[in-house]
Amino acid sequence: MKRIKITVKRITVYRDLMAEYENPIEHACDMQPGQTFVVENCEKPEAMCQSAWETLYPFVRELAEGGGNFFDGWMRNPHSAMLSCNDGFRPVSFYIEVVE
């Protein structure tokens, strides 16, 4: 299996939605822009958020197995993807790519 690098590219925070709908929570996300994770054997990196991993995993698995070219040419690099976690209040954008 190929190694996959995951890079945190952006974190967006929708404070208006949080104020209207979210119950206050002390600690929502540990991710930081520029933070990277390397995936070996399709195993979740220890510090990776479980919810984000569940979103990224199908794409990580496909790339690790040699696939790619998601959605017929969506990405300039066919062995990569730009994805976001499913947190509607503070989505994190991740760039995943094959590491040679």
Per-residue pLDDT of the chain (100 residues; tens, 9 = 90+): 999 999 999 999 999 999 999 998 877 788 999 999 999 999 999 989 999 999 999 999 999 999 999 999 899 999 999 999 999 999 999 999 999 7
Tell me whether residue 72 is in a domain: yes
Q: Which domain holds residue 62?
A: 37-100
Question: Model pTM?
Answer: 0.92
Tell me whether residue 6 is in a domain: no
Tell me whether residue 19 is in a domain: no
Tell me whether residue 77 is in a domain: yes
The total number of structural domains that make up the chain: 1
Tell me whether residue 20 is in a domain: no
Tell me whether residue 26 is in a domain: no
Burial of 37-59, coded b for 16+ CB within 10 Å and e otherwise, reads bebeeeebeeebbeebbebbeeb
Tell me whether residue 30 is in a domain: no
